[in-house]
Amino acid sequence: MSTTIDSTQTTPSVTLPELTRDEMVRYSRHLLLPEVGVEGQRRLKAARVLLVGAGGLGSPAALYLAAAGVGTLGIVDFDVVDLSNLHRQLLHGTSDVGRSKLASAIDRLRDVNPHVVVEPHEIRLTSENALALIARYDLVVDGTDNFQTRYLVNDACVLTGRPNVYGSIFRFDGQVSVFCTADGPCYRCLYREPPPPGMVPSCAEGGVLGILPGLVGTLQATEAIKLILGIGEPLVGRFALIDALGARQRTVAIGRDPTCPACGTRELQSLIDYDAFCGVPAGPEAEAAVPEITPVELAEWIARGDDFDLVDVREPHESAIARLPGARLVPLGGFADAIPTLDRARDIVVHCRSGARSARAVRQLQLAGFTRAWNLAGGILRWSDDVDASVAKY
Amino acid sequence: MPTFSLPSVLAAHIGGIRSVATTGTTVDGAIDALVDQYPQLAPRLRDAAGAPYPFVTFYLNDEDVRLVGGFAAAVSDGDEVTIVPAVAGG
């Protein structure tokens, strides 16, 4: 089977851009491959690829696509480089911490290959801008980190007819596929709906092996190049599962779902509210629906000797990294079972790393009738910033 | 005796075990046997009514079970069922 993207594959070779002398040397190892050759390299030069996310997956994908000579790389990201990104996001270096990821990416990619045009899009991809943006590119490489944007990218790719080179990671496992081609399934065919918020932890909560996005992102770049060149067997209708711990890779068969509202029945004719679809609170007010206490206020309670219980809902290995004095460790997964052991007549302060998991625990307490439960706003991270810098941030 | 292959997101709930041999003559029956052995997995594999979640997929010998009979698909000795929940990390 040969699945290719339309816009470059149908371009007559006479209208493809010529390669310069420098480019002929730079890409000589490609030119020696009969499957690529001069015409294939000119197709790569003509291609326009949109990378959504310049993080763990976007880093290796951008580096290899630029090195391979993809002529135009659009990159969507609005984040800044954080020290905790650097164990896996190789587009960025230590000197880039605090800079925008796009500025860092442009500098790095210019050095990797000055022949590539990088188009920065320092925006959040939304239902309002996604269609127009994606329509300007031949294919999309999805390197986002949340379900809302994954469904948004999928639906926008279906509606614009652009292939979606999908990759996703968690802890030691990765997933890769090519969705939204003319003859293959889309992401909704595979996963009709996302899990409820909180059921699947994010990489920031659950961790990820730093090298894993390197494996998955380079597979995405490989698939993108195959689609542009029209060679090989693309991962259409197949789902590659990478198990880094077991050193195993399995490819399973997936199929198009004729009842899929996006690519099957086509009842989904425009983009929707993806926060609502994924059950994510719409704004900061919704996030702050539980009573909160700031780290400074908690430090005052402790200093005064106030009588309260402090509960840590992180995992034991997180407690080994940093902990607050006097906290009782009750990981969120077993929190419901521990509720009967808590004293509803006392103030209970619940904390985690950032305040997200502990907010869910406080909601559980509210549902159980507790009226004196408080979420530590910002968790360990803000405690370290505002109260005690000797407590490690991670 | 079918064997389940679990991703790390599920293995984390059962002490890191990635492969579990079970009994059962259908995918559904094998899942029953799996959750008998590890009850903590039950709410992560099927909904309260025992129906598939839209965000967890099962593969019988590398085929999406939805393409080969769903949870009613027959399983036997040597079959492998791979569970793949949706994850969104990037």
A43: left (phi over 0), alpha (psi -120 to 50) or beta: alpha
Q: What residue segments make up the domains of chain B, in order of their start?
A: 3-85
- Strand A238-243 and strand A248-253: the pairing is antiparallel
Average pLDDT value for chain A: 93
Please indicate if any CB of chain A lies within 8 Å of the CB of B44: yes
Nearest-CA distance B60 → chain A (Å): 9
Closest CA to A223 of A178, A160, A157: A178
Residue B8: both structure tokens together? 């790390």
CB-CB neighbors (< 8 A) of B67 in chain A: 253, 255
The CATH superfamily assigned to A6-277 is NAD(P)-binding Rossmann-like Domain (3.40.50.720)
Catalytic positions of A, written as ranges: 203, 352
Tokens 């393409």 found at: B67
Does 3.10.129.10 match the CATH number of domain B3-85? no
pLDDT digits (tens, 9 = 90+) for A73-120: 999 999 999 999 999 999 999 999 999 999 999 999 999 999 999 999
CB contact under 8 Å between A252 and B13, yes or no, is no
Q: What residue segments make up the domains of chain A, in order of their start?
A: 6-277, 284-386
Q: Note the pLDDT of residue A7.
A: 45
In the three-class reduction of DSSP (H, G, I as helix; E, B as strand; rest coil), residue A50 is classed as strand
Distance CA A107, CA B42 (A): 49
**A119-123, B13-17, B28-32: segment of lowest average pLDDT:** B13-17
Residues with Cβ within 8 Å of A351's Cβ and at least 6 positions away in sequence, in order, are A310, A311, A312, A313, A324, A327, A358, A375, A376, A379, A380, A383
pLDDT digits (tens, 9 = 90+) for A292-339: 999 999 999 999 999 999 999 998 989 999 999 899 999 998 898 889
Candidate from B13, B54, B62 with C-beta closest to A192:
B54
Residue A40: both structure tokens together? 């294939």
Q: Note the pLDDT of residue A285.
A: 46
Nearest-CA distance A303 → chain B (Å): 38
pLDDT greater than 60 at residue A1: no
**A130-134, A231-235, A277-281: segment of lowest average pLDDT:** A277-281
Report the alpha-carbon angle A323-A327-A328, nearest 5.
120
Please indicate if any CB of chain A lies within 8 Å of the CB of B66: yes
* Residue of chain B with shortest Cα separation from A148: B88
Average pLDDT value for chain B: 95
Distance CA B65, CA A329 (A): 40
Residues with Cβ within 8 Å of B46's Cβ and at least 6 positions away in sequence, in order, are B31, B52, B53, B56
Q: Which pLDDT band, with edges at 50, 70 and 90, does B83 fall under? A: very high
Amino acid symbol at A169: I
CB B35 within 8 A of CB B81: no
Distance CA B87, CA B90 (A): 9
Percent of chain B with pLDDT over 70: 100
Nearest-CA distance A203 → chain B (Å): 6
Residue A330: both structure tokens together? 């009750």
Q: Which of B3, B6, B8, B67 to mutate to test the interface with A (most CBs of A within 10 A)?
A: B8
* Residue of chain A with shortest Cα separation from B65: A254
Residue B79: both structure tokens together? 């079959």
Distance CA A67, CA A61 (A): 10
Candidate from A143, A200, A333 with C-beta closest to B90:
A143
CATH number of A284-386: 3.40.250.10
Give this complex's ipTM. Answer: 0.95
Residue A312's DSSP bridge partners are A329, A351
Distance CA A77, CA B5 (A): 35
State the DSSP code for A24.
Answer: H
